[in-house]
Chain A
Amino acid sequence: MTSLNTYRAGPDERGHFGIFGGRYVAETLMPLILSVEKAYAEAKNDPAFQAEFRTLLKQYVGRPNPLYFAPRLTEAFGGAKIFLKREDLNHTGAHKINNCIGQILLAKRMGKERIIAETGAGQHGVATATVCALFGLKCVIYMGATDIERQAPNVYRMKLLGAEVRPVTSGAATLKDAMNDALRDWVTNVADTYYLIGTVAGPHPFPAMVRDFQCVIGDEVRAQMLEAEGRLPDSLVACIGGGSNAMGLFHPFLDDASIRIIGVEAGGHGLDKLHAASLTGGRPGVLHGNRTYLLQDDDGQIQEAHSISAGLDYPGIGPEHSWLHETKRVEYVWVTDDEALAAFQQVTRLEGIIPALESSHALAHAAKIAGQLPKDHLMVVNMSGRGDKDVNTVARALGDTFGGLL
């Protein structure tokens, strides 16, 4: 970080955000990672690439999606004005597609014919399978066996879209393990395969590239809030798995010092039990190609995460978030499974919008703090995805909690 008057200059040429990030991969992958970096640097500055990206976001994804003022939530929370950024209205139902459009254009540009990806909630898998269908590319999705079970509707969607879904049974059979197997596939198929990483993690250039593609979220919010209220928002709230929907919302505002920015991690059963809050409950380490905060034991062995939300069930976080945490530009908090479930129901009943369990974490934190804020405080909550995929999980959880009320 050479420039001290901006939070937006990173990473450096070796992919580091402070001590975080980098390229901790096997030598077999190194030349490939360097070629992705080079191809992306060229594409980024190619107006034709950018134009194609923008056109697809508009025509295919349906952007810009609304910044919706939520009157009944605002009333219920009893303070700040709540605005929801409606990523749930994107084609395929989450923010994940923004990044997939960008990376599939890059993969095509690099002449790759086979696409692999990891998925937790299945949203990134569905988005990847979708763009592969659109461009006629072979698609293999790695998904933990545990997640296949709890996100069954998305598994079938991927199959309909022509993707092969490979169940991963190692470890806890969730997102971390899916990422291990995707990396093993990539090492084995370096010549024809492109690994379409779904969040702002992995080796450089992925954290920066995925961020760039997701920044459309924050860029739109800036324009939309200026139009609606004539000024910038006062606070931004987003959930964090790897951190891509949050980074996409936050990054365009990092240098607006007056804006309070809050990332919400998954607190699972609580921080003294099983959870997925890497920043609050972890420490720096190296996994999946980058240095970042990780849940790990005293011996540096990675611990299993837990969240009711498959998309947040990961023991790490994107490296730029670790840096924003240490520089204190962004506040990182956590909410529990139960709090997220309560927010899921509240938002569904009050606004007629079923949020993803991931997004419900951001909503749950907004519910906690909005009441203490003045009525002219403008708060943007990222509705990163829709909750249709979570209906089974929620039914099961509520059945357990409320003795068959459903």
Chain B
Amino acid sequence: MSRMEARFAKLAAEKRAALVTYSMAFDPDRAASQELLNGLPGAGADIIEFGMPFTDPMADGPAIQYAAQRALAAGGTLRGVLEMIANFRQGDNETPVVLMGYYNPIYSWGVEKFCADAAKAGIDALIIVDLPPEEADELLPHCRANGIDFIFLTTPTSDDSRLPTIVGNASGFVYYVSIAGITGTASASATAIGDAVSRIKKHTSLPVCVGFGIKTPEQAAEVARLADGAVVGSAIVQAAADAKARGENPAQAALALVRELAAGVRGARG
């Protein structure tokens, strides 16, 4: 059983949804983002998405755009990102880590070699925003060969004719992007999210996690009632950035928010 399957099995036993957190590697610097990463399981994150910085994050709003700029200015590289995950794995061999970002750094590394190196570092899954099903066949076989899940994104624009194509190749979980838009902006209504999740579940038995626009513990709790996981990204990134601007510890500020979010998710179905 993969770390991802084991985690969802445990959550099912606990009858609750997952809190999935996103933070950017090297933001605001390597030490702080390592401190944040290593603290996430203790603060209640069930699944960790770790962002690889990219110069041109076309699907991201300002919060994550700035995070990527800070990370690159701090010397962020893909090699460094893998090293940070390997470091995390020394203390945690259970929490699934999903590497999230854009395709070019991976393509530049060489897809076959990258998948092998990523698996060795302890990465469980990839989300590559600009690799839709139409192009994913150049990466999928290498993911499979290395036991890495490729998480496909579904969106409000993925209609019923398209969903089978998307989820047909999916493993790990299915990510539902709850708004047509970029990260850290609008939020979808509970009704819209509930409808979408049941629509997706008609096409797959995989867990469905919902992200984009979830910022508060209340919103996370609401989504946790409707789906198998709630993904929070921009709010965590912003909490770290705000703390840093105030001269406080960015990792600890982000972890404080994660603890509140985790309480929200854990209390959701109680």
Contacts and interface: CB of A to CB of B under 8 A. Distances in A.
B130 interface: yes
B134 A190 contact: no
B59 A285 contact: no
A257 interface: no
Contacts of A300: 78, 104-109
B166 interface: yes
Contacts of A23: 132, 134-135
A399 B175 CA distance: 56
Interface stretch (A42-50, A179-187, A234-242): A179-187
Nearest to A291: B107
A286 B54 contact: no
Contacts of B133: 27, 30
B135 A301 contact: no
B119 interface: no
B157 interface: yes
Interface stretch (B35-43, B142-150, B179-187, B200-208): B179-187
A28 B180 contact: yes
Contacts of B72: 301
B56 interface: yes
Interface residues of A, number: 36
A55 interface: no
A235 B229 CA distance: 61
A289 B156 CA distance: 20
Given A187-B59, A188-B182, A302-B56, A31 B162 contact: yes
Contacts of B58: 26, 180, 183-184, 187, 288
Contacts of A289: 130
A25 B133 CA distance: 10
A315 to B, nearest CB: 9
B56 A176 contact: yes
Given A14-B134, A23-B135, A184 B59 contact: yes
A22 interface: yes
A28 B177 contact: yes
B246 to A, nearest CB: 24
Interface residues of B, number: 43
A140 to B, nearest CB: 16
Contact of B104 (A27, A30, A191, A287): A287
Interface in A90-126: none
A298 B79 CA distance: 11
Interface string A171-200: 100001000100110011111000000000
Q: From DSSP, what is the main secondary structure of chain B's interface residues?
A: loop
Nearest to B131: A24
A391 interface: no
B105 A301 contact: yes
Given A30-B132, A286-B130, A301-B55, A187 B78 contact: no
Interface in B110-145: 129-135
B159 interface: yes
B109 A27 contact: no
Interface string B154-185: 11111100100010000000000100111001
Contacts of A184: 58-61, 182
Contacts of B69: 170
Contacts of A191: 180
A187 B135 contact: no
B55 to A, nearest CB: 5
A26 B54 contact: no
A292 to B, nearest CB: 11
Interface string A9-49: 00000100000001111111111100000000000000000
28 contacts: A23-B134, A24-B130, A24-B132, A24-B135, A26-B59, A26-B153, A27-B152, A27-B154, A27-B155, A28-B157, A30-B133, A30-B158, A30-B162, A31-B159, A171-B56, A184-B60, A187-B59, A187-B181, A188-B180, A188-B182, A188-B185, A190-B157, A286-B130, A288-B58, A296-B104, A300-B107, A301-B105, A302-B55
- Lowest 3 CB-CB distances: which A-B pairs, in order? A300-B108, A300-B105, A188-B181
